[in-house]
A and B are shown apart, each in its own frame.
Chain A
Amino acid sequence: MNPFFFGSSQQPLYGVYHPPKARVPRRTGVVLCYPLWQEYMRAHRAFRQLAMLLSKAGFPVLRFDYFATGDSGGAGEEGDVTRWVTDIGMAIDELKDMASVPRVSLVGLRVGAALAAAAAVRRSDLDQVLLWDPVISGARFVEQVMARHGVATTNAANGNGTGTVGVDGFPLTETMRRGLQGIDLLETSAPNARELVVVVSDERKDYVELRDRLAQRRVKARYTHIPSAGNWDEIDKFGSALLPQQIIQGIVSCLAGEAVS
């Protein structure tokens, strides 16, 4: 694991590079796209595990923090969806340069999946785009996260009078909210990639709807259900992590071109 900062020196992004550990490295790298806020905290260990398994399978892997999240530059209030999608593009370029690979696959979890899908529309160097328990409707996601905290659009107790509210311990600004509310995977253009893969831990209604809509729109996609824990939005007193081994292993198999058991 090699941690480093990349991107502009004024707004650096923190990444951890996992070099390929197989005897014959693969020609495709993998960029991992985290979810947001407490889901990011909860998924960090799972991403580390996924990165290590992919690295063992011969993939060069980069997991990184979007601007204004994790260790990356920027205060929490400075993040926004457009910037995060651009960050994924920067991470792809960084990994291609670092590992000397011509193509990259994206794996995104929850909001990270929606951001990866958006980033993939603009690229021409992507192999697979794998959406893991994706947030399909950003508007619904925002509604749920705000309802969970009992916050209205303005909250004097937790906000600063500028429309920023605290959700899960992180600031949600007007700009972020508008950007997130614009996410709609049912309508997003098909990623410009060899294959779109949707991996879900539970056959929820909205996941099935996404599967059907992709088929209806004749988007070439593979939909895989791997029963495992998917309660990414659960928060407890100590900040526990979710490590769903089966689905992590399934994702490695998907990317490695193996049959998913």
Chain B
Amino acid sequence: MREKAVRFGTSAPLVGVVTEPLGQPASPERPAVIFLNSGILHHVGACRLYVSAARALAARGFTVMRFDHAGIGDSEVRREAMPFEQGAILDTRDAMAHLTSTKGTQRFVLMGLCSGADMSFRVAGQDPRVVGLVQLDAWAYRTLGYYLRHYGKRARDLSAWTNFMRRKIRTVLGGSKPAGEERGADTVGAEYRRRFPPREEVAQQLTALLDRGVRMLYLFSGGQEEHFNHREQYRASFRDVNFRDQVRVEHLPDADHLFSGLEHQRFVIEAMTEWMSANWSASPRSEAPPPAASRQLAGAAAR
């Protein structure tokens, strides 16, 4: 496996790292994987997950790019004003264009956690070059099964009742927020509020993507328990969508939203590499893990 820092982008100077199999380059027929930022976390991903996953995928013969959207991580701010979601789609297309021009890759699998998952889904809807999605803590919609599990668990949990009553009393008395809910102006990103589109809109796009042959791997953590609490929920929430054999769903109830448990990170990486290999028949390579990056400045003007 070898890695190279790259600069690319048309509307903003973007920065990324391309990870490739050592020796023979990945076949351009095989899709390249692109990792998308999760919130304001830079391109190494939560708990360095994107780095470990990129290297594991490269060891299986895939080309992988992790990069920062404009204004995030190591990428510079966009030159012209534009809503983030609109700009992020352009950035992702720039990443695809870069891999096409440098590696000849024509097909892509997008992967992201949280807002990265949201963005991967939006880009896939607009760009036919996307043939696969790996979404961690994607948009999810509550079902009857969700509520039965949710309230069943809470009914058995005495502390949930106690907390509920405390909140009610505080609201009635007009008390202040408990410690820890107030944040200083120096903290960036904690105020993030994720907007879930209407279920029908997502169902419609899911159908369109599945009709197009797009394959999807969903991994949900226990950190998204307010929206998702059992593996079968995803299909149940989209009964009007024909999933065929194109969608795999995994649920890690003990994992937090950042997948900070080492065993959860291992599970995600193994699930992803296995799913990629199964769908795009990359031959496993017996490659030694240590990397061999080129001592290479990205951009001619670097020195």
Contact = CB atoms under 8 A, between A and B. Distances in A.
Contacts of B46: 41, 169, 239
Interface bracket on B: 35 or more
A17 to B, nearest CB: 7
Contacts of A12: 3, 291-293, 295
Contact of B4 (A1, A5, A239): A5
- Judged by DSSP, the binding face of A is loop
A243 B186 contact: yes
Contacts of A239: 38-41, 46, 189, 258
Contact of B302 (A17, A75, A159, A243): A17
B189 A240 contact: yes
B7 interface: yes
B47 A98 contact: no
Given A1-B15, A14-B5, A71-B3, A170 B298 contact: no
Contacts of A75: 52, 289
A170 B186 CA distance: 25
B68 to A, nearest CB: 10
A35 to B, nearest CB: 14
A166 B256 CA distance: 13
- Judged by DSSP, the binding face of B is loop
Given A10-B291, A168-B260, A238 B192 contact: yes
Contact of B5 (A4, A160, A168, A245): A4
A22 interface: no
Interface of B: 3-7, 13, 15, 17, 38-44, 46-48, 51-52, 73-74, 76, 114, 184, 186-190, 192, 223, 256-263, 265, 289-299, 301-303
20 contacts: A2-B301, A3-B298, A4-B295, A5-B293, A11-B291, A12-B3, A17-B297, A45-B40, A73-B293, A166-B260, A169-B47, A237-B256, A237-B257, A238-B258, A239-B189, A240-B40, A240-B187, A240-B188, A240-B192, A242-B187
